[in-house]
Amino acid sequence: MTKHSPMRAAVPLLPGLELFSRGKVRDTYVLPNGNLFSVATDGISIFDFVLNGLIPGKGVILNAMNHFWLKYLESFGIKHHLVAAGKDIDMFLPKALRGDPDLQSRAIVIRMLTMVPVEFIARALLVGSGERSYQQYSHICGHKLPSGLQSGDALPCVIDTPTNKALVGHDENLVASEVREKYHKQTYLLLYIFHHASHYAKGRGIKLVDTKLEFGECGTLADEVLTPDSSRWAEFRVWEEGRKVARGRKAPPSLDKQYVREWGAAQGINELDPKNPDHVEKVHSILFPDKLGRETNQLYRYIFWRLTGQQIEVYLRDHMNVPVSRKEKNIAVVCGSKSDLTVIEEVLDRTPYKMWEKVVFHIMSCHRNPEEIREYAKTGCGGADVVICVGGKAFALPGVLDAQLHAFGFDIPVVGVVLGEPNSEELQAAKISIKQLPGAHVIMDDIYDEVYTGLEGFLGAVNRVQYGELPPPKTRVQKPVQMNVFKKDY
């Protein structure tokens, strides 16, 4: 069994229930009626090590995402192990455990199944361990692939690349044809589910890169399904753009625990052996940064919203009947001029007042008020959670404010909304000022890859901030200042 880190081991067990197993993330119990009770903790693992840290709220998001996909796949005739979720779990629990919104949010009742000892993995792109296998052997699990494929390229078709279930250490590849012959029903379901999930995700602007599924011997879908822990997700547009490069193509950034993988690789964890007790102790001694935990939580919230169209709290309330509350965000709207505020006042007049209770409005020009902009950023924008900049023409305000906030150590998101007559030169200039900003740190409508525009765009940006999710901060690339770098002798 994988050894738990001190923080993962310290997650308390539920009283009054018999423990069935403790996984890297989930604790599973036996219920009196023979079903199992699976609780998703906030634990995190990479490279088959359980890290000594927790991601706040991660287990809740995993559980709700699992619930979403199981219910979605029901419409395609997929049988699964889910018995009860959300508030309905109380019917199966001892009285002392009932009525707990946190438990209702992160736990499900499932059928006990005899599981197939295989990890069924489907891949659409050449990434991860599949890419390493291709580079070394020119095939993955016996699938011979064309030469010349680069990182992140689409495979000729979605392929099944099964592995064993290692109790400790890394899973090992199996020959796909042999697994297919023995478990043909499960392999068919793997590819069938991948097809439907991939088609759905594409409609939300997301690419399903690969996923791992598990099945009972009867063919019933089990374990976690299509979560950020068991799948790779990426921006469809970013993946397509990356394929236009002739040489040196790279796999797109993934919307899952990739932040943690990158951090772990920088610590050298990917080079260690999970079967070596000294290596395990070394990993458990590494301090897990709080900032990394917050950013990963934001990324998990973001991919949940992108795929379901709802904030996690709204989904729990509306689809799992869990009484949770959501926190309203404090929004600062910064207009570049008085005329910009006059334009958006029309929206204020035709929308409910409640929508603007957490919104404050300012007028500041980054060209005419540079010191005021700097001071505003230095104070963290008055405690705003998000800033929406509104203006037109050569619209430098959002980029300048974002840069100043970063310089003063704040991760406050900045959203850009451009104004101007349709198809005018002024409107195009404002859009380009945001779309062509190096690093693309100012937030746009990332589903459609467009800048929020006009009155409807402003309303959409406010709705997005309050009822959607914003992506976590992008990595900043610092460039050194170079003075007097060129002098020509005449």
**263 and 388 share a domain?**
no
One domain for residues 332 and 240: no
| Confidence bin at 169 (pLDDT 50/70/90) | low
Residue 485 or residue 126, greater confidence: 126
What percent of the chain shows pLDDT beyond 90? 84
Same domain, 333 and 281: no
Residue 4's pLDDT band, with cuts at 50, 70 and 90, is very high
From 259-268, 347-356, 378-387, 469-478, the region with the lowest mean pLDDT = 347-356
> What's the confidence (pLDDT) of residue 46?
92
Instruction: Give per-residue pLDDT as tens, 418-441.
Output: 999 999 999 999 999 999 998 889
**Same domain for 281 and 423:** no
Average pLDDT, the chain: 93
What pLDDT does 357 receive? 86
Does residue 455 form part of some domain? yes
Q: What is the pLDDT of residue 1?
A: 67
The CATH code of the domain that includes 154 is 3.30.470.20
State residue 172's pLDDT score.
87
Q: Is the pLDDT of residue 452 over 70?
A: yes
Q: Is the pLDDT of residue 259 over 70?
A: yes
Taking only the tens place, the pLDDT of each residue in 453-483 is 999 999 999 999 999 999 988 878 888 888 8
Residues 278 and 414 in one domain: no
Note down the domain range covering 149: 118-286
- For 3-7, what is the mean pLDDT? 93
The reported pLDDT for the residue numbered 330 is 95
Percent above pLDDT 70 for the chain: 98
Residues 343 and 462 placed together within one structural domain of the fold: yes
User: What pLDDT score does 165 carry?
Assistant: 83
With respect to residue 133, please indicate whether it lies within any of the assigned structural domains.
yes
pLDDT tier, 17 (very low <50, low <70, confident <90, very high otherwise): very high
In a domain, 309, yes or no: no
Max mean pLDDT range (140-144, 163-167, 258-262): 140-144
**Does 222 share its domain with 155?**
yes
Query: Is 55 a member of any domain?
Result: no
Region 20-31 average pLDDT: 95
Whether the CA torsion 31, 73, 471, 461 is positive or negative: it is: negative
**pLDDT, mean of residues 101-117:** 97
Indicate which CATH number applies to the domain containing 336.
3.40.50.1970
Per-residue model confidence as pLDDT tens digits over 181-200: 999 999 999 999 999 999 99
The confidence score (pLDDT) of residue 438 equals: 86
pLDDT at 56 over 70: yes
Is residue 272 domain-shared with residue 160, that is, in the same domain? Answer: yes
240 shares a domain with 161: yes
385 and 438 in a single domain? The answer is: yes
pLDDT at 486: 78
Q: Once rounded to an integer, what is the mean pLDDT over residues 353-359?
A: 83
What's the confidence (pLDDT) of residue 267? 95
Does residue 209 carry a pLDDT above 80? Answer: yes
The whole-number pLDDT of residue 221 equals: 97
Residue 449 has a pLDDT of 87
> Same domain for 282 and 331?
no
Query: What's the mean pLDDT in 233-256?
Result: 93
pLDDT tens, position by position, 219-244? 999 999 999 999 999 999 999 999 99
Tokens of 387: 């800033």
Return the pLDDT at 38.
98
* 140 pLDDT more than 80: yes
Q: What is the reported pLDDT for 474?
A: 82
Number of domains forming the structure of the chain: 2
| Averaged pLDDT for residues 377-384 | 96
Domain assignment of residue 6, yes or no: no
